[in-house]
Amino acid sequence: MITIEAYKENPCGVLSIPYWKNKRVKIPQNMCIVHDTAYSEDKYKEYCDEPYFRLFHSLTDIHIAPVNGISIVNAKQDDIPLLVDIINQSYTDLSVTFEQLKGYTQTEAFCPELWIMAIDNINSCIVGCGIADFDKALHEGIIEWI
């Protein structure tokens, strides 16, 4: 198990997922998660290489750029079906279910203030959403869907 101190020094380098999730997830025996800096095609021939990314932002340089005609509001649990629809319409290769998003609300990192919807002010339609978690122990925010 990776220590909190090691994680804080290089969160994206030591874990592929947030620390709080790593405590809950068991990686299947037939899976190997390797950072790009340690990857070697020869060494992992028996695995399927599926690249993904994880970003880190220190929040020290934030520029707020309001978008005219769009309001940001907090999503409520009653909005979960709408969020599922928005996410599923936004991605061709990924999808979520009501149960998945509802499950996010049951985790220790659930933070209702970080579930947001972008509303078109003219026709009151939802044009986007964002779902994030917050690990109180590490003071780390994690974007799940945007």
Per-residue pLDDT of the chain (146 residues; tens, 9 = 90+): 789 999 999 999 889 899 999 888 888 888 888 888 888 888 888 888 888 788 888 888 888 887 899 999 999 999 999 999 999 999 999 999 999 999 999 999 999 999 999 999 999 999 999 999 999 999 999 999 99
Architecture of domain 70-145: 3-Layer(aba) Sandwich (3.40)
H or E segment and range at residue 22:
helix 19-22
Q: What is the DSSP string of 76-126?
A: -GGGHHHHHHHHHHH-SS----HHHHHHHTTSTTEEEEEEEEEEETTT--E
**Every domain of the chain and the residues it spans:** 1-56, 70-145
Instruction: Specify the pLDDT at position 56.
Output: 83
Inter-CA distances, 53 with 60, 61, 105, 116, Å? 21, 21, 24, 23
